[in-house]
Structure 1
Amino acid sequence: MSEKKRPLKADDLTKIDVYSDPRFTPDGSGFAFVSMTVNDKKEYESHLLFQRLNEKYPSCWTFNEAKNSNPRFSPDGKKVVFQSDRSGVPQLWLLHTDGGEAWQITTFKHGAVNPVWSSDGKSIIFSASLEKGDDVTNQEEQSKEEQRKEKEDKSKKPIVITRLKHKSDAKGFHDEKYSQIVLYDIEKSTFKQLTDGEAHHNFEDISPDGNQILYTANLNEDADYELTNDLYLLDVPTGDTTKLTDSTGGYGSASFSPNGNRIACFGHEYDYLGATLNELYVLDINSGERTLFSKGWNFQLGDAMIGDTRLGQSELGPVWDENGKHLYFIGTDHGSTGLYRVSLDNAELETLYEENNHVFGFSYHKGEFILGISTPTDPCNFYHLNSQGKLKRLTNANEEFLGNVTISEPEELTFKAEDGWDIQGWLIRPYGFEEGKKYPFVLEIHGGPHAMYGQTFFHEMQLLAAKGYVVLYTNPRGSHGYGQEFVNACREDYGGKDYTDLMSAVDNALETYNFIDQDRLGVTGGSYGGFMANWIVGHTNRFKAAVTQRCISNWLSFYGVSDIGYFFTKWELGKNLLEDPAKLWDFSPLKYAVNVETPLLIVHGEKDYRCPIEQGEQMFTALKHLRKEVEFVRFPDANHELSRSGKPEMRIERLNHITRWFEKYL
C-alpha cells in the first residue's frame, strides 16, 4: 500500500464520476453513455458523452446543469434522442450527432421519459405520466414557477386514499396519474396516445415492422391486491391488445426477435415468492407457446449486486443477436456478475465474460460488446469485448481521483456456517495497515435480504477502512448468487441461521486474522441489514458499537405502514399481522430491547416509505425509556435510498455520523 496517497474521505463520493447506459452507434464504430457527477451546488448532474472505439477520450454532448440521460441513436446514426430535466421536468430532446444544439420535442406537463426509436426511424415511442382525459396533442409544459406553485398548493390539500397500493418509496403518495405509452411521428411532429386506463403501462419494445408494441401491466380488476405483471401485445394500426401471459407471475425486460415472431423476457411465477430466481422465457407470438430456457441454471438473471456508487440504469438483457439465434444477458453468481449467452437451438449456456468483478451493463453490436465494469478498486469504466473474446479498456474514468486516494483491495474468504454451508465474504484491511498492531472491526450487513455483496466498488466500505477499521462484509443465507435453495433459506427464519451465519463470519475472521481487536467490534447495516443490526444487539453483547440504518424493529406495525408491508411480511415471515401477531412479535427486535447493552445509533430518513421512520423511532423510544445508550439521527426529505441516491450533502452527513459513532465507542 502506497502511503503517498491520502486516505479516502466521506465527501469523496462527490468527486466520483459514475458511468452508465453504454449504447453502440448503429455502425458499431463508437458509443454514447451517461456520466453522473456532483456539481459545485452539491447537486447531481448527468451528461451524454460519446467516444469512438479508436479514440482515447470521450467528447461531451451536453453542458447544461441538468440530468441528461437515456441516449438512443436513430437507425441511421444521424440523431440521438435523449431525456433532460433542464426545463424542470424530464422532456425529450433531439441532437444531431455531427454537432449543433439540441432541440426539445416534448412539452408534456408531467414530463416524457424512456425514448425508443422505431426501426424505420420515423417514430419515437416514449412513456408519459398522464391524468384521465389528458390530451397528448395539446400538452403544455409548466414554467418552474408554475411547478413550484402547484407543489405548494398540493401540500395544503388533504390526500384521499381509497387503494391498498397508495404509496411507494420512490414516488411518495400516489395520485391519479398513470404511465402511458405515446408515439411521436417525427415527420408530422404529432403525438398519438397508444394506451390509456387506470393502470401503469410499461413500454418494453416495438416490433421490427413498427406495427406492434410490447408492454407490461396489471390490467386485472383485482390489480390493487395482486403483484403480478403481465405481457401485452398492442397492434398499433388497429389498437387491439393481446394478453400474452396468464397473471400467474411477473415479467419484464422483454424484447422482440429480429424477425418479430418471438419475444424474450425475464420473469417467474413466484414459486418462492420474493426469493424466486428470475427465469429466461421465449414466447412464440403465432403459436402462443412459451419456452423456458433457464431450466437448471440455478443463478439469478440480471444484476443483484449492491453498491453505493451506481447511479443510472444500464442494459442487463436479454438482448437478441442479429440472426435471432442467441440471447445475451447479465447474470449474478458468487459475488460477481458476468455476461452470458444462450443458444436458442440447443439451450446451451456460455459464459462470455466473468472475471470476478461487477459487469453493470452492456451494449451489443454484431458479436461485439461494450461492457460497463466496476471492481472493488475502480468505480466504473467501459471496455470493448470483441468477437474473439479479447477485452480492451476504452475509458479512464476517475483516473486523477484514483491516482491520489488509497483504495484497498478486499481479501475474499469462505467460511463454514454452523450447519456446514459455505458462506462467502470479503475483508478489507485498514489504511496504513501495520503487522503486529490490533485494529477495531466493523461488520457490514446488506439489505434485501435477497441481494448480494461482491466484487464492486463500495465507497462506504473503503471509507471505514480509511478510518482505520477492519471491514468485513458477507453474503449470509438469503443472499442472491448461490442458487435457489440458498436465497430462499432465510424466509420464515429471520434472526435464525442468517444470524448465526453472520456470527460465524465474525468468529472466522477473529480466528484467521490476528490483527483484529476482539474487544472493539462494531456492526452496521441498512433495511434488512438494519433489522439484523437491531436483532444482533438484542441477542449478543459482543459488539461495542452498532449503527442501524433505515431499519425494521417491529413487524406488527411494519405490516400496516410500509409500502410493501401488507405482502412482504407474509412473504418473508410466513404470516401477516392478522394471522399470527405473536409470531411477528417474536421476530421483532423491539421485543428484545431490554437485552441491549451495545450503544446504538439509529439513522433514518423522514420520507422512508419502505421502512418508515416510525420503525427507528420505536426502537429509540424503547431504548431511551430503558435508559440505554442510544441516539437517533433523522434525515429530512430523505427516503429509503438515502445512502445510494440521496442528496449528496445528506449522504456525506450520514457517513460522518456513522464514523463519529464508531470513533466514539471503538
Structure 2
Amino acid sequence: MSKTGINSNDLLTFNFLSDPQLSPDGKSVIFVRRHITDEKKYRSKLYIQTLTDKQMHPFTQGESNDTNPRWSPNGKTIAFVSDRSGKNQIWTIPAKGGEAKQITFLKNGASNPLWSPDSQQVLVTTSLGEDETLDSEDKKEEKQLVDKVYETEKVNYKADGAGLLPKKHAHLALIKKDGTIVKQVTAGPYDHSAGNFSPDGKQVLCYANQFDNPEDAFLSDVYIIDLDAEEQTKITNSDGRYSSPLFSPDGSKISFLGHDQSYKNATLIEAYVYDLATGETMCVTENWDVVAADTAINDMGTGVQPAGAVWNSASSSLYLLGSTHGKTQLYTASLDKEITCLCGGDRQIYAFSPSENADAIILAISDPTTPGDLFSFDKNTKEEQRLTAANEDWLAEKTISIPETFHFQAHDQSTIQGWIMKPVGFKDGEKYPLVVEIHGGPHAMYSYGFMHEFQVLAEKGYGVLYINPRGSFGYGQNFVNAVRGAYGQGDYQDILDAVDYALETYVWIDHERIGVTGGSYGGFMTNWIVTHTNRFKAAVTQRSISNWISFYGVSDIGYFFNDWQLKASLLDNPDKLWEFSPLRYVKQVETPILILHSENDLRCPIEQGEQFYVAIKQQKKTAKLVRFPASDHNLSRNGDPSLRIKRLDEMTGWFAEYL
C-alpha cells in the first residue's frame, strides 16, 4: 500500500519535545514531552534519558501538566512546575525517581524554579497584588457580578493570551527545599524575571522595567540583588531592553541579551558581558550582523524561554543561538568578540543545554523531516548523536514533502531566500496549484524547521511557496529594518517577485491556480495583496489586520506598534495609517477570500477581520468568515487541538473550492 502524506488529523499524533536540561554530571537529560490525549487535550510530562540510551522514559505520571524541570546542582533532586494541586506550583522529586513533593503553596501559584548553588533553596516566580504577601491565604470567595467590573487607568491593561491583566506583579521569592518560605526577594509595582544565582549563593540576578511609567518606557534593566542586604544594583543604563542575565561560573562577570532599541522591535538582539570588577559592559556581538536568538517560526510548539548567553565552564566564552539565512545554529562568542559556529546545518536549533562538568551539549532540533528531537553534541570531537525519535514510528508510514531552498533577485536587486515544496504524489509532466504562505511578525524568519501546516497543504495536492521578504530576521540589521514605515511596499513586491521566479523556474506550477495565505502580519499582507492585485485565484487571511486606525486602540500593542512599525501615530498622522490600511482599498477586492479569526485574539482583535468581511460582503463579493471560540492569537500553534484541525480543514476546503 502506498504511503500517504501528513493530514490535519495527524496533529493528534505528534509528540512535541522541549526544554531539555542536561544533568550536572552530563550523563542524563530531562525534558518535557507534550502530546494530545484521546480527549484532544494537551498533556505535558517529564521524560528522562541517559546519553547512552536510545529510549526515553517517563519520569512523571498522572493527569497533571508537568513542565520546567531543573536539576539541583548536586544532581540529586529535580524541581519542576505542576498543576496537579489545581494551579501551577513548584514540586520536587528525587532524581532517581520516587514520590513528588509540593514545596510551594502560594496563593497565585509559582513558576520558573532556580536552584541555589548549595541545592538547599529554590528561587521561584510568583505574582502578588499590592496588599498580598507570600503567605496570603487563597480564599475561594464567590464574587458578585459587580465585583467583577474591571477598572483601569493604564493603557496596557490587556494582553493576548492573558486577557484583562490583573492588578498584580511578578516577583521573586526564596523557598527552602522543604517548602519553608525564606523571603520575598523583589517588591514594588514592577514585573521581575529571574536570571540565576551567583556561585557563592549570596546574590541573584533579575531583569525588570522599574520606570515610573513602565508602559511608556518599553525598557528593561538588569539588576544584581544582594540577598542578605536586600539591596539591588542596576548594571545597565536604562537605554534598551535587556534580559536573560547569567553569572559566569567564576562569579567575575555577567552575560545578558538585549538591544538598545535603535530600530525599535526591529533591532537585532545582541550578547553583552558586564565585568563586576571594572563595572564596564561590552557587546561581544557588536561586529556580528546576526540576531542572537532563535527567531524561526514553526507550528510545532518549540517556543521555549531562551537560555540566554550561557557561559562555558572556564568563564571565557559564551554559547548562544543565532538565526541567519533560514537556519538557527549554535555559536560561541569569546570575550575577544570572536564568533564561531559550533554546530550548524540546515535546521532550527530551538533549545540547548550544556554541562559545566562534561563535554556534551544537548540540542533540541527541528528540520524538514523532524518535528523536534534531542541530540547530544560533543564540544571537542564535534560529533553528534541522536537521542530521541519522538515521531519516527508513525512518520515512517507517511510521505513527507521536502522543501527545496532557492534565492532570487528581487525588484531592487536584493537577494531573497525562499523554499518551495512539491505536492505529495508529484508526477513529472503534470500541473499543480500553488499556495503562497506569508509569515507573521514581520520580524521573524521562515526556516528549515518542520511545518505541519505546509505538509497538510502538500498532502492535499498543493505546492507550497514561502519566503523571507524584507522585514524578516536572519539577513542583517538593514534587511530587517527595511519594512518599517513601508508596509505593503518592498515586502509586497518581494512576494510578487517570488511568485514570478517560481513560475519561471518550476514548470509544474499551474499559472492559473495560485492561492495565498498568512497570519498576523502575514494576514495584513494577504489583505494587502487582494486589495492591490487580482493575480491570486483564492486567499485565506488569518488573525489579520485591515484597519490600522482602529488597531491603534483595540490591539494590546496597537498604541506603540503603529509608531514603531508604520512610523505613524493616530494622534499625529492618521492619514498615513489609513493609507497603509487594506480596508481603504477594499473596493478593489475580486479574489474569493476566507477570513479566519479567533474570538479572544487581543493582538489582532477580531474586529479587524469583521470590518474586512462586512466591506467585502456589502459589495456582494465572495467571502466567508470563520470565528474560533475561546481562542487567541496563537490558535495555529498552541490552540485547542480540535480547533487547530478545524482551521486547517477550513483552509484546505477553501482552496479546494476556488483553486
TM-score using structure 2 length = 0.98
Q: Distance in 2 between matches of 1:451 and 1:441?
A: 23
1:12 matched residue in structure 2: 10
Query: What is the deviation of 1:649?
Result: 0.8
Match of 1:478 in 2: 471
Residue of structure 2 aligned with 1:648, choices 635, 641, 648: 641
Q: 1:499 aligns with which of 463, 485, 492?
A: 492
State the match for 1:25 in structure 2: 23
Which amino acid is the alignment partner of residue 368 of structure 2? P
CA distance in structure 2 between the partners assigned to 1:355 and 1:157 by the alignment: 53
- Residue 546 of structure 1 aligns to a residue whose secondary structure is strand
Kept in 2, the 8 Å contact 1:51–1:57? The answer is yes
Q: How many residues align?
A: 656
- 1:5 is displaced (CA, Å) by 1.7
How far off is 1:99 after superposition? 2.0
Contact 1:374 1:381 in 2 (8 A): yes
1:392 aligns with 2:390: no
Separation in 2, partners of 1:539, 1:20: 41
C-alpha distance in structure 2 between counterparts of 1:188 and 1:104, whole Å? 8
* 2:506 aligned with 1:513: yes
| Superposed counterparts of 1:351-500, under 5 Å | 351-365=341-355, 366-386=358-378, 387-500=380-493
Which of 204, 225, 229 in structure 2 is aligned with 1:234? Answer: 225
Partner SS state of residue 531, structure 2:
helix
Deviations 1:424-470 (CA, angstroms, capped at 9, x unpaired)? 00001001001111111100000000000010000000100000001
Unaligned residue ranges in structure 1 (runs of 5+): none
Q: Give the match for residue 348 of structure 1.
A: 338
In structure 1, how many angstroms separate the alpha carbons of the residues matched to 2:302 and 2:337? 34
Does residue 1:78 correspond to 2:68, yes or no?
no
Residue in structure 1 matching 2:202, options 187, 196, 211: 211
The alignment partner of 1:327 has SS state of strand
The within-5 A match list for 1:152-301 is: 157-186=148-177, 189-301=180-292
Residue 319, structure 1, aligned to residue 307, structure 2? no
Answer whether contact 1:164 1:225 (CA < 8 A) is retained. Answer: no
1:613 lines up with 2:611 in the alignment? no
Q: Please say if 1:624 is aligned against 2:617.
A: yes
The correspondence of residues 563-578 of structure 1 with structure 2, limited to 5 A, is: 563-578=556-571
Q: Deviations over 1:606-633 (max 9, x none)?
A: 1111111110011011111111111111
Contact 1:423 1:475 in 2 (8 A): yes
Question: Match of 1:304?
Answer: 295
Query: d(CA) in 1 for partners of 2:374 and 2:657?
Result: 41
SS at match of 2:396: helix
Q: 1-side partners of 2:148 and 2:25: how far apart?
A: 53
**Quick one: which of 525, 545, 552 aligns to 1:552?**
545
1:533 corresponds, among 499, 507, 526, to 526
CA-atom RMSD in angstroms: 1.4
Residues 21 and 315 in structure 1, CA contact (< 8 A), matched pair in contact too: no
Q: Which moved more, 1:246-255 or 1:440-449?
A: 246-255
Distance 2:177 2:392 in 1: 41
User: How many angstroms apart in 1 are the aligned matches of 2:128 and 2:147?
Assistant: 22
Q: TM-score, normalization: structure 1?
A: 0.97
Instruction: State the percentage of identical aligned residues.
Output: 46
Q: By how many angstroms is 1:188 displaced?
A: 7.2
Q: Is the Cα contact below 8 Å between 2:49 and 2:57 reproduced in 1?
A: yes
Partner of 2:66: 68
Identify which of 135, 138, 141 aligns with 1:137: 135
Q: Does the 8 Å contact 1:15/1:37 carry over to 2? A: yes
> Amino acid of the residue matched to residue 560 of structure 2?
F
Say if 1:438 and 1:516, in contact at 8 Å, map to a contact too: yes
Runs of 4+ with deviation above 6 angstroms: none
**CA offsets per residue over residues 578-632 of structure 1, 9 Å max, x none?**
1111111110000110000000111001111111111001101111111111111
Contact 1:316 1:360 in 2 (8 A): no
Deviation of 1:138 after TM superposition, in Å, equals 5.0
Counterpart AA for 1:490: V
Residue aligned with 1:536, SS:
helix
Which amino acid letter does the alignment assign opposite residue 29 of structure 2? Answer: F
Deviations 1:621-656 (A, max 9, x none): 111111111111111111110101111111111111
**Aligned residue number for residue 43 of structure 1:** 41
Native 8 Å contact 1:21 1:313 kept in 2: yes
**Amino acid paired to 2:87:** V
User: Is the contact made by 1:268 and 1:279 (CA closer than 8 Å) also made in structure 2?
Assistant: yes
Deviation at 1:161, TM superposition (A): 1.5
Aligned twin of 2:555 = 562
SS for the counterpart of 1:75 is coil
SS in 1 for 2:497: helix
Q: Distance in 2 between matches of 1:186 and 1:574?
A: 50
User: Structure 1 pair 233/316, CA: closer, same or farther in 2 (3 Å)?
Assistant: closer
1:218: Cα distance to partner? 1.0
Contact persistence 1:137–1:192 (CA under 8 A): no
- Give, in whole Å, the separation in 1 of the partners of 2:463 and 2:97: 50
CA shift at 1:21, angstroms?
0.9
